[in-house]
Amino acid sequence: MPTLATELLALVLVGAASTTFMATGNSTLQLTTDPSFRGGVMALWSVTFSGSTPIGGPIIGAVSEYTSPRYGLALGGLACLAAAGLGAAAARRTPPRERRAPHPVKMDWAAYQQAQSG
């Protein structure tokens, strides 16, 4: 960024977007996944974000070191656009009815307490 003020503004916007994306992704996955698969799906979600950093970080670092930081940033942006395109293509292949989240199960508090007490 050319100035500190524009950098700080960009950091705030990117941080807010990142937090919103992660919260929305977590909520959507937990609400739409069958309860018997929820743990596995959330594990894959974690591996996708946490596990890809040790692979992508050195690649972007090497590109930035041997070319310039702008090329590394552009490569990261292109990777995000490619992932968004793949996600959009996958969403188009899924029929609209299957994309909707199922209705949440209503909790019967008395039954829950009875189940917890044994």
At 5-63, the pLDDT tens digits run 999 999 999 999 989 988 998 888 888 888 888 889 898 888 887 777 788 889 999 99
Predicted pLDDT of residue 118: 62
Read off the pLDDT band of 94 (50, 70, 90): confident
Nearest to 109 by CA among 117, 97, 98, 99: 117
Read off the pLDDT band of 106 (50, 70, 90): low
Q: Dihedral angle at the C-alpha atoms of 108, 24, 50, 15, nearest 10 degrees?
A: -140
Instruction: Please give the model's pTM, rounded to 2 decimal places.
Output: 0.55
* Beta-carbon contacts of residue 41 (< 8 Å; ≥ 6 apart): 29, 33
CA 49 → CA 57, 64, 70, 92, 107, distances in Å? Answer: 12, 21, 23, 23, 32
Please tell me the distance from the alpha carbon of residue 67 to that of residue 98, in angstroms, as a whole number.
45
- Tokens, residue 22: 């992660």
